[in-house]
Amino acid sequence: MAEKPQPEYRPVPPAPVAAVSPAPREPDPAEIERALKESGLELVQTRSGATADSPMESEPKFVPAKRERRPPPADLDEPLVQVETGNEPPAPKV
């Protein structure tokens, strides 16, 4: 039985390193404003420490609506009846 020759080991060359791209530039505020006007959008910015220009009215406290309790069913005082729901053989036809 002849042995098959082993494949020759060839090291893989390292992958080329991509050149470092420069940091993205900051967008120009005038360019942003122009793009917003063209698209019909409005820019809204919030600041965490800002105070409101006008005091907001306090919302009224939530009070659930009063609902009348529905009357109890008429058959509440009657004794319970057990009903069997299993398959019964059909009655013979005469």
Spatial distance between the Cα atoms of 6 and 16, rounded to a whole number of angstroms: 29
Q: For residue 20, what pLDDT is reported?
A: 77
Does residue 87 come out as left (phi exceeding 0), alpha (psi in the -120 to 50 range) or beta? beta
Q: What's the chain's Rg over C-alpha atoms?
A: 41
Residue-level pLDDT at 21: 78
pLDDT at 38: 92
Which one, of 18, 19, 35, lies nearest residue 27 by Cα?
35
- pLDDT tens string 8-64: 888 888 877 777 777 788 888 889 889 988 999 888 888 777 666 655 667 788 888
Question: Which pLDDT score, from 0 to 100, does residue 84 have?
Answer: 82
Higher pLDDT pick, 91 / 81: 81
pLDDT at 17: 76
Tell me, what's the pLDDT at 56? 62
